[in-house]
A and B are shown apart, each in its own frame.
Chain A
Amino acid sequence: MTITINRLARRFADFRALDDVSLSIAPGEFVALLGPSGSGKTTLLRILAGLDFPDSGDLLQDGRDLLQVSARDRGVGLVFQHYALFRHMTVFENVAFGLRVRPRARRPSKAEIAERVDKLLKRVQLDGMAARYPAQLSGGQRQRVALARALAIEPSLLLLDEPFGALDAQVRVALRRWLRHLHEEMGLTTVFVTHDQEEALELADRVVVMNRGRIEQVGTPDEIYQQPATPFVFEFIGKSNKVPVRIHGARLQAGDQRFEADALEGLADGSAVAYVRPEHLALSTTPLENGWKATLRHVYLSGSVAHLELDVPGLGQTLEAELGGEEAQRRSLQAGMTVTVQPRHLTVFPLDGKTGEPDLARRRVVHPRYGQAALARWR
């Protein structure tokens, strides 16, 4: 069951909630819609559920026009951010609701309904809770009731709106692993909305990063993290250093340093912006010719990772580097030390000459060339 989203647009007064969004969702896929609030991810989810309709664009399910199908007949399972359990019904009645409201011809018998609800409650590990009311349950339990209720109608598509947003950190991690297992067991096509990158990267097969009503990038969690396609993805996902640079004769001028790389061949001269992940900055305590000279401002040891704050006078800015906590201790890195910093992996977006905006089409991933001596001494 493939879902094709084609050029969807949705406006609310002057606000573009969705702006030319296209996406294809394969059968059995687990897709995360990731973005800050106002990025359009919830609007897209509501359109998939049939609770909202686009101003233009198509939504197809195996070639069938879903926009002609009302929310009632779409057969989509939806778990609301705050669960939206029926507060005056027991857990059992909540889960049975979708079966009870069916037209008589398609409605299962009482015994069948009871059997199916029992099965679902077992599946979400809530057997024994059937007679409780939503107000008597914990957040995690409510969440699972909402899930069981959505699954009761045997949906062809499961939609989850910020499924873990209202839960404690601990419950959240446990529940999302459980949800991932459940997905692997049932193989149900699932789309969930989140603003939490960790959640998206850990859970999803594919992540759709959204910003201001547009899709910034679609890719596997690994692709999203390792090869961000746009400056927004760089800034939104993981940590990164943003460094203004100039491209000059296929070389990268960054502050007082000039880096050579094959990837720069063919790029016109001009201003550009480069992004470097903290773990892609290599440090050397012995002075090297190639690389920024920097003062180590702070070493923050957080568990297994050491975050380093580097003052780089040649760039006129602070950079953040990251390395293993053990390694930082082994090399006895301390605040106040002078180090040489070498970026190993940069992503460069040349700036458009007219607008001054990063030109996504000319994006380059740059691995600067360093002399043999530098490589030998690195680490």
Chain B
Amino acid sequence: MDAVLSLTRSRPGAGRLVPLLLIAAALGFLLLFLLLPLAAVFVEALRKGLGTYTAALVHPEAIAAIKLTLLVAAIAVPLNTVFGVAAAWAMTRFAFRGKALLGALIDLPFSVSPVVSGLIYVLLFGAQGWFGPWLLEHDIKLIFAVPGLVLATIFVTLPFVARELIPLMQSQGSDEEEAARVLGAGGWQIFFRVTLPNIKWALLYGVLLCNARAMGEFGAVSVVSGHIRGLTNTLPLHVEILYNDYNYAGAFAVASLLAFLALITLGLKTFLEWRYGSELAAKAPRGH
């Protein structure tokens, strides 16, 4: 009897070791590859003192990069929000030919390397590109200019909102919207009074992720930017330039801004997941 008891007692002990090892491995990994670099950013940024740090941030080129990053995000994020809602609405509320194709297209930016995305725009709108001569004739400059940056950013961040909304709207079904219609509501009334309240937290979540990517995007933007200082450099590009100029403190100072952005995004994201988790998940309770 004693032997049996001790056996059953030792089991949970042995079983506790494996999870502990796994947790330690995961934490160690996170520490090494995420927290350490993050800490390094701030340590390096402040290595030459607070004065150098602030000087790097208020440098005219840095200010221009911040403004440009905000401008690009301010155009790309609202556009992709509208597109994401429209695409999710179309994908979940209507049956039409080419629906699977639309779904694949929405996912395309996720599966294509950002550099390739940027190159596509250069090939289309660059001086040697398909529409290059026509654009040149009409004196429209897309590539190596702000419009190109916006285009590339829109392309890269296109899936975030739609991908967040589609599973949720699929699981919610269209019953409530049909009920609203039969009760006499018009299209906009249905959207603002029924659809939007049901998807608002998922929408906010998608917008948040979309914004983080729009501000942090490097690859696609790098190809179309042309790196004209003070004109076509976004924050991530500015970091690279400073770094290549051996201005490590400056590079890390600007990088710390992006790190802050990441931390704020992470905080908001965690808050949304904690507070409205059930409304974000695809298997949101249907209320019956």
A-side residues, CB < 8 A to B, are: 49-51, 71-78, 80, 82-88, 97-98, 101-102, 133-135, 139, 142, 149-150, 152-153, 166
Cβ contacts under 8 Å, B181 to chain A: 51, 71-72
Cβ contacts under 8 Å, B198 to chain A: 87-88
Judge whether B193 is part of the interface by a CB distance below 8 angstroms: yes
The CA-CA distance from A80 to B197 in the complex, in Å, is 20
Judge whether B270 is part of the interface by a CB distance below 8 angstroms: no
Judge whether B186 is part of the interface by a CB distance below 8 angstroms: yes
The CA-CA distance from A249 to B178 in the complex, in Å, is 59
24 contacts between A and B (CB under 8 A): A72-B184, A74-B182, A75-B184, A76-B182, A77-B182, A78-B179, A80-B179, A82-B175, A83-B288, A84-B176, A84-B179, A85-B287, A86-B194, A87-B287, A97-B193, A98-B184, A101-B180, A102-B184, A134-B288, A135-B285, A142-B287, A152-B183, A153-B183, A153-B184
Cβ contacts under 8 Å, B9 to chain A: none
Whether B175 and A166, one on each chain, are in contact in the complex, defined by CB atoms closer than 8 angstroms, is no
With CB as the reference atom, state the residue of chain B lying closest to A74. B182
Whether B184 and A84, one on each chain, are in contact in the complex, defined by CB atoms closer than 8 angstroms, is no
The CA-CA distance from A31 to B186 in the complex, in Å, is 30
The CA-CA distance from A171 to B194 in the complex, in Å, is 29
Whether B288 and A166, one on each chain, are in contact in the complex, defined by CB atoms closer than 8 angstroms, is yes
Cβ contacts under 8 Å, A72 to chain B: 181-182, 184-186
Q: A85-B176, A98-B183 are in contact. List 6 more A-B contacts (CB 8 A).
A: A51-B178, A86-B197, A102-B184, A135-B285, A135-B287, A166-B288
Judge whether B189 is part of the interface by a CB distance below 8 angstroms: yes
With CB as the reference atom, state the residue of chain B lying closest to A159. B182
Cβ contacts under 8 Å, B288 to chain A: 82-83, 85, 134, 139, 142, 166
- Give per-residue flags for B244-288: 1 if the beta carbon is below 8 A from chain A beta carbons, else 0: 000000000000000000000000000000000000000001111
With CB as the reference atom, state the residue of chain B lying closest to A76. B182
**With contacts A80-B175, A83-B288, A101-B189 known, is A50 near B184, CB below 8 A?**
no
Cβ contacts under 8 Å, B286 to chain A: 82, 87
Whether A71 and B182, one on each chain, are in contact in the complex, defined by CB atoms closer than 8 angstroms, is yes
The CA-CA distance from A98 to B194 in the complex, in Å, is 12
> Most chain-B Cβ atoms within 10 A of its Cβ — which of A71, A84, A101?
A84
- The number of A-B residue pairs with CB atoms under 8 Å apart is 77
Cβ contacts under 8 Å, A98 to chain B: 183-184
Cβ contacts under 8 Å, A49 to chain B: 182
Which residues between 168 and 209 of chain B lie within 8 Å of chain A, taking CB atoms?
175-176, 178-186, 189, 193-194, 197-198
Whether B178 and A84, one on each chain, are in contact in the complex, defined by CB atoms closer than 8 angstroms, is yes
Question: Which 8 residue pairs spanning A and B have beta carbons closest together?
Answer: A84-B175, A98-B183, A101-B185, A84-B179, A87-B287, A88-B197, A78-B182, A135-B287
Q: What's the least CB distance linking B215 to chain A, in Å? A: 31
Whether B182 and A73, one on each chain, are in contact in the complex, defined by CB atoms closer than 8 angstroms, is no
The CA-CA distance from A75 to B176 in the complex, in Å, is 17
Cβ contacts under 8 Å, B197 to chain A: 86, 88
With CB as the reference atom, state the residue of chain A lying closest to B190. A101
Whether B182 and A134, one on each chain, are in contact in the complex, defined by CB atoms closer than 8 angstroms, is no
Cβ contacts under 8 Å, B176 to chain A: 84-87
The CA-CA distance from A215 to B32 in the complex, in Å, is 71
Cβ contacts under 8 Å, A149 to chain B: 179, 183
> Most chain-A Cβ atoms within 10 A of its Cβ — which of B181, B285, B288?
B288
Whether B287 and A97, one on each chain, are in contact in the complex, defined by CB atoms closer than 8 angstroms, is no
With CB as the reference atom, state the residue of chain A lying closest to B285. A135
Cβ contacts under 8 Å, A73 to chain B: 184
Whether B185 and A50, one on each chain, are in contact in the complex, defined by CB atoms closer than 8 angstroms, is no
Q: What's the least CB distance linking A162 to chain B, in Å? A: 13
The CA-CA distance from A296 to B98 in the complex, in Å, is 63
> Most chain-A Cβ atoms within 10 A of its Cβ — which of B181, B184, B189, B286?
B184
Q: What's the least CB distance linking B220 to chain A, in Å? A: 38
Q: What's the least CB distance linking B156 to chain A, in Å? A: 33
The CA-CA distance from A102 to B176 in the complex, in Å, is 17
Q: What's the least CB distance linking B199 to chain A, in Å? A: 10
The CA-CA distance from A98 to B197 in the complex, in Å, is 17
Cβ contacts under 8 Å, B189 to chain A: 101
The CA-CA distance from A87 to B198 in the complex, in Å, is 8
With CB as the reference atom, state the residue of chain B lying closest to A149. B183
Whether A51 and B184, one on each chain, are in contact in the complex, defined by CB atoms closer than 8 angstroms, is no
Q: What's the least CB distance linking A140 to chain B, in Å? A: 11
> Most chain-B Cβ atoms within 10 A of its Cβ — which of A50, A73, A85?
A85
Q: What's the least CB distance linking B169 to chain A, in Å? A: 14
The CA-CA distance from A101 to B198 in the complex, in Å, is 18
With CB as the reference atom, state the residue of chain A lying closest to B187. A72
Whether A101 and B183, one on each chain, are in contact in the complex, defined by CB atoms closer than 8 angstroms, is yes
With CB as the reference atom, state the residue of chain A lying closest to B189. A101
Looking at the complex, which one of A78, A101, A134, A153 makes contact with B287 (CB distance below 8 Å)? A134
With CB as the reference atom, state the residue of chain A lying closest to B186. A72
Cβ contacts under 8 Å, B180 to chain A: 86, 97, 101
Q: What's the least CB distance linking B8 to chain A, in Å? A: 42
Which residues between 128 and 184 of chain B lie within 8 Å of chain A, taking CB atoms?
175-176, 178-184
Q: What's the least CB distance linking A250 to chain B, in Å? A: 56
The CA-CA distance from A87 to B179 in the complex, in Å, is 12
With CB as the reference atom, state the residue of chain B lying closest to A138. B288
The CA-CA distance from A72 to B183 in the complex, in Å, is 7
The CA-CA distance from A80 to B98 in the complex, in Å, is 30
Q: What's the least CB distance linking B52 to chain A, in Å? A: 51
Cβ contacts under 8 Å, A78 to chain B: 178-179, 182
Cβ contacts under 8 Å, A88 to chain B: 197-198
The CA-CA distance from A73 to B182 in the complex, in Å, is 8
Cβ contacts under 8 Å, A87 to chain B: 176, 198, 286-287
Q: What's the least CB distance linking B185 to chain A, in Å? A: 4
The CA-CA distance from A102 to B185 in the complex, in Å, is 7
Cβ contacts under 8 Å, B285 to chain A: 135
With CB as the reference atom, state the residue of chain A lying closest to B182. A78
Whether A101 and B184, one on each chain, are in contact in the complex, defined by CB atoms closer than 8 angstroms, is yes
The CA-CA distance from A2 to B41 in the complex, in Å, is 77
The CA-CA distance from A78 to B175 in the complex, in Å, is 11
Q: What's the least CB distance linking B138 to chain A, in Å? A: 45
